[in-house]
């Protein structure tokens, strides 16, 4: 067994024990873990692959939002730029899974909100129904933490794919073909979120449509053109009534 594999085994065992004994420190340790992963990112291919293997369960097993989420995604995007094909492909696959997972959490968050609202409405007296409805309408205008993460991520995917400056991710650029692939994946698998949330619908008009118009006016290679056509097809099929 290599030293790296041995250390990983020991760290997993130690972290599992810590999670059982001290569940309250889980969220606070995320930033430390991410900083450590960032510090060792240049320590060779084997370590880079271990980092990617760590990030996926880190984000799926813990509540990671805002800056911590952006930092974790940034690690993957940086590794996706690797000249080592295996690292590049693994990072790309990890990002595909994470992007979809981030949007799946929005659906879970919406369901939880609906159940909470239904539970509260059943316990409210009739004299309080009007106040409750007004309060619910105000809350719906604000995105929850999962929805906000997804909103900021999708906005940055559009900006970076369009060669503009990101606002959420501290990232200078991404491959246009890969950016279009991620955008297509989100629109295909989670089109209902863009219909349910006006904030997401606004991204279609303000980010996706300008992206399509600009890139169709330029000459691109076949893979990029095909990705653009797929995004256009999804826009027409799923969102023609709100664009």
Number of structural domains found in the chain: 1
| Cα radius of gyration (the chain) | 21
**Does pLDDT of 21 surpass 90?**
no
What does the pLDDT read at residue 30?
86
Stretch 50-62: mean pLDDT: 91
Q: Which domain holds residue 70?
A: 3-239
Stretch 12-26: mean pLDDT: 57
Share of the chain above pLDDT 90, in %: 59
CA-based nearest residue to 182, from 57, 106, 75, 91: 91
For residue range 166-215, what is the model confidence (pLDDT) as tens digits?
A: 999 999 999 999 999 999 999 999 999 999 999 999 999 999 999 999 88
Share of the chain above pLDDT 70, in %: 78
CB environment 156-188: b (16+ within 10 A), e (fewer): bbbbbbbeeebebbebeebbbbbbbbbbbbbbe
What does the pLDDT read at residue 8?
58
What does the pLDDT read at residue 223?
85
d(CA 145, CA 226): 34
pLDDT band at residue 119 using 50, 70 and 90 as cut-offs: low
For residue range 83-112, what is the model confidence (pLDDT) as tens digits?
A: 999 999 999 999 999 999 999 999 989 888
d(CA 69, CA 148): 11
């Amino acid at each position: 067994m290599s030293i790296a594999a041995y250390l990983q085994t020991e760290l997993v065992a130690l972290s599992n024990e810590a999670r059982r004994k001290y569940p309250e420190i889980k969220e606070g340790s995320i930033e430390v873990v991410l900083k450590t992963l960032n510090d060792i990112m240049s320590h060779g291919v084997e370590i880079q692959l271990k980092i990617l293997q760590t990030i996926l369960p880190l984000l799926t097993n813990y509540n990671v939002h805002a800056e911590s989420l952006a930092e974790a995604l940034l690690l993957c995007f940086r590794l996706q730029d690797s000249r080592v094909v295996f690292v590049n492909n693994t990072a790309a696959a990890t990002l595909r899974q994470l992007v979809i997972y981030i949007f799946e959490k929005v659906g879970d968050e919406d369901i939880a909100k609906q159940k909470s609202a239904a539970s509260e409405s059943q316990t409210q007296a009739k004299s309080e129904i009007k106040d409750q409805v007004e309060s619910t309408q105000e809350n719906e205008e604000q995105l929850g933490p999962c929805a906000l993460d997804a909103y900021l991520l999708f906005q940055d995917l559009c900006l970076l794919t369009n060669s503009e400056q990101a606002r959420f991710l501290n990232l200078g650029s991404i491959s246009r073909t890969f950016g279009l692939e991620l955008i297509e994946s989100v629109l295909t698998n989670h089109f209902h979120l863009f219909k349910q949330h006006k904030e997401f619908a606004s991204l279609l008009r303000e980010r996706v449509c300008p992206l399509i118009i600009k890139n169709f006016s330029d000459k691109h290679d076949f893979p990029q053109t095909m990705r653009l056509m797929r995004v256009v097809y999804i826009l027409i099929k799923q969102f023609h009534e709100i664009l």
